[in-house]
Every structure is written in structure tokens, then in C-alpha cells.
Amino acid sequence: MTPAEIRLIQTSFAKVFPLKAKFGMMFYTRLFEMDPVIKGMFSTSIARQSEMLMQALALIVRGLRTDGALPPKALEMAARHGRYGVTEQHYQKMGEALIWSLSETLGDAFDASTEAAWRNAYDRLSTTMINAAAGASPGVELTT
Ligand code: HEM
């Protein structure tokens, strides 16, 4: 990722984070509409899950690096997701729900370059999380 992409993500996330309760509710509602089976994977309330998701995203967004490496806490979280039964298809759906929620929340501020930066970051994040869950060397192939 380029420094410019990282800046776009951090600046746009700073606008979304204060609205985290509303944003999280919107995001999970969209995700469960896209795939109702996913809803049954959660035992935690959506309000609490939203808070955990937004705190995890905050940690990841704050720690974004040009070499794509993730903070150790995020890698541990990724490994747990393997145990929750989360697959590549789930990550794809989550990515679409995330981009949709960002677009709804940010409106015109979610311009083409901001969207491209988020898509790039999410692709890298989900690939790293999938690899970490599979026990591969996370992040190693993501150093470009
Ligand atoms: C950017 C990607 C993601 C982030 C940052 C994230 C964040 C989190 C966090 C912070 C937790 C709390 C528990 C823990 O830390 O282990 C969690 C739990 C969970 N996540 Fe994710 N998650 C992501 C992707 C996904 C995807 C794609 C799915 C499936 C559609 C998913 C399903 C779950 C489930 C089933 C739990 C356990 C909930 C429960 O026990 O009630 N996550 N996630």
C-alpha cells in the first residue's frame, strides 16, 4: 500500500469511528441481508459485536503499513476466525458490506480514490487473515 492510500483510509475512518454504533448496526444488517446464514454464526449481540469490530478495525487502520504487515493482535484474531468457521467467501461478503456501509456513511467523501484504497486494504487484510487462519506465514507474500 502507498502512503497516500494509508492516509485516505485513516482520514475516512476517522469520520466513521465516532458513528461506530450506527455504522456497525448498518454493516451487520447489510451483511445478514446478503447472507442470512452468517447471522447464525454469531452468539454475541450485534451491538457488542459492532463495538468489537470497530475497535479491531481501529487497531488495524491505525497500524497500517506500506509492507502490508498486520499487528500481532490482529494475527491472533485472524487465527480465531478460522476456528469460528469463517471462509474466503465470508470475507468477500464482509468486504462488500463494509464498502457499502462506508459509501452510505461518507457520501461524496467516499470518492473513487478512497474506495480504491479501502478495497486494496481489505483485499490484503482478508488474504492475510485467511493465511493466518490456515497456519501459513501471514503477511510474507504481501510485502509489495
Ligand atoms: C476485517 C475482518 C474482520 C474483523 C476485523 C473482525 C473482528 C472480530 C472481532 C474483534 C471479534 C471478537 C472475537 C475475537 O476477537 O476473536 C470477532 C468475532 C467473530 N467474527 Fe469477525 N471479524 C472480521 C471478519 C469476519 C468475517 C468475514 C466473519 C464471517 C462472516 C466473521 C465472523 C465472526 C464470528 C462468527 C465471530 C464470533 C462471534 C461470537 O462468538 O458470537 N468475522 N470478529
Question: Which atom of ligand 1 approaches the CA of 52 most closely?
Answer: 10
Cell 451483511 belongs to 31
Distance 84 CA to ligand 1 centre (A): 8
The cell numbers describing 49, all together, are: 459485536
Question: Residue 20: inside a domain, yes or no?
Answer: yes
The boundaries of the domain holding residue 25 are 3-135
Question: Residue 143: inside a domain, yes or no?
Answer: no
Question: Residue 140: inside a domain, yes or no?
Answer: no
* Residue 104, domain CATH: 1.10.490.10
- pLDDT tens for each residue of 95-139: 999 999 999 999 999 999 999 999 999 999 999 999 988 884 444
Average pLDDT over residues 81-99: 96
Are 19 and 63 in contact by the 8 Å Cβ rule? The answer is: no
- pLDDT tens for each residue of 70-79: 888 888 999 9
**Predicted confidence (pLDDT) at residue 36 exceeds the cutoff of 60:** yes
Task: Report the number of distinct structural domains present in the chain.
Answer: 1
Average pLDDT over residues 53-71: 94
Q: How far apart are CA 2 and CA 79, in angstroms?
A: 26
Distance 75 CA to ligand 1 centre (A): 12
Measured from the CB, is residue 97 less than 6 Å from ligand 1? Answer: no
Question: Residue 32: inside a domain, yes or no?
Answer: yes
Q: How far apart are CA 37 and CA 92, in angstroms?
A: 15
Mean pLDDT over each residue of the chain, to the nearest integer: 92
Average pLDDT over residues 34-39: 96
